[in-house]
């Protein structure tokens, strides 16, 4: 068993996101393609002699108690691996909150992986059981056990890894003063779902997402952009600056553009001086796994 581990918790964007409707269990049925990107938080875990979970978070606006997904992830897996000691967790946030980039879910997955690495059980623990634990924490959490590019169905927790595309440079614009919670976004979208045509099957969905007619799409754009027009302006500005594609990230409010030329991406980033802007790369599954020190993603 190690005394401490330190690992990244990477963000994601949704290259395609289609919401089919509300399920009987209250969640929404999704078809989406996740893509891991190089923007990340950092999580450090260390063993303590005193019992309990002691979490410190760099963003004081976030809970450091049982409401935090890192705390819940550590709590959820402790009994599974038979760990009875104390844990100190230090979470350094860089992924903006309530921007649709999956920061909280990624932090939770990093905590699960970190606990297995800390206790030396990363090769022996049942992967199906780990996915089950991750799914219980949040719909996006299972994806962050693997990274790369993946199709997600059901409520977003059933993951099918896809071939990694060519590495691309991503410009993520986190708009100043605009935050959209997942709950808000789904409430805004709900009225439109009743009038939506039947969704394509899973593999036709993948084909549509990667057809020449449009490599990225997001059902949340219409309701979110109607309430926050500046987000649509940011998307259009990224396209005008040379992005091959641009879209809302998840349920928002971050907007991302995909660039083939890193220099062009850096020039585009300078067009948003009042916002938080990140120029990062897409991450393959292999690169993701190496960064996490984790065999399941490789």
- Give catalytic residue positions: 12, 140
Bridge-based pairing state of the strands 217-218 and 4-22? parallel
As given in the structure block, the two tokens for residue 241 are 């600056």
Integer Cα distance of 166 and 281 in angstroms: 10
As given in the structure block, the two tokens for residue 284 are 């393959």
Integer Cα distance of 24 and 41 in angstroms: 34
Assess contact for 134 and 109: CB atoms under 8 A: yes
- Dihedral sign for Cα atoms in the order 135, 138, 143, 149: positive
Degrees to nearest 5, angle at CA 124 with 121 and 125? 80
Contacts made by residues 229-233, CB under 8 angstroms, sequence distance 24+: 230/175, 230/178, 231/175, 231/178, 231/255
Closest Cα partner for 68 from 22, 25, 9, 130?
9
Alpha helix stretches (DSSP H) within the chain: 69-81, 103-118, 127-137, 182-193, 202-209, 221-227, 229-240, 262-269, 285-292
As given in the structure block, the two tokens for residue 270 are 């300078």
């Amino acid at each position: 068993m190690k005394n401490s581990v330190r690992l990244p918790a990477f963000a994601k964007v949704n290259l395609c996101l289609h919401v089919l409707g509300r399920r009987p269990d209250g969640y929404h049925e999704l078809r989406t393609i996740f893509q891991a990107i190089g923007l990340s938080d950092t999580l450090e875990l260390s063993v303590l002699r005193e019992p309990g979970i002691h979490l410190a978070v760099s963003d004081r606006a976030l809970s450091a108690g049982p409401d935090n997904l890192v705390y819940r992830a550590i709590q959820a897996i402790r009994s599974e691996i038979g760990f009875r000691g104390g844990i100190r967790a230090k979470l350094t946030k860089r992924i903006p909150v309530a921007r649709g980039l999956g920061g909280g879910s990624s932090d939770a997955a990093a905590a699960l992986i970190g606990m297995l690495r800390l206790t030396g059980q990363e090769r022996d623990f049942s992967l199906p059981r780990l996915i089950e634990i991750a799914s219980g924490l949040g719909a996006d959490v299972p994806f962050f056990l693997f990274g790369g590019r993946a199709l997600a169905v059901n409520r977003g927790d059933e993951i099918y890894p896809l071939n990694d595309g060519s590495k691309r440079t991503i410009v993520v614009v986190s708009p100043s003063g605009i935050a959209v919670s997942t709950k808000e976004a789904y409430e805004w979208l709900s009225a439109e779902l009743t009038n939506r045509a039947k969704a394509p099957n899973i593999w036709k969905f993948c084909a549509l997402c990667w057809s020449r007619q449009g490599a990225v799409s997001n059902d949340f754009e219409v309701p979110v952009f109607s309430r926050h027009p500046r987000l649509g302006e940011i998307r259009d500005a990224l396209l005008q600056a040379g992005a091959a594609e641009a879209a809302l990230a998840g349920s928002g409010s971050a907007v991302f553009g995909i660039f083939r030329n890193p220099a062009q991406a850096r020039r585009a980033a300078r067009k948003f001086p009042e916002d938080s802007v990140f120029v990062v790369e897409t991450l393959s599954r292999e690169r993701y796994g190496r960064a996490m020190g984790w065999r399941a993603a490789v």
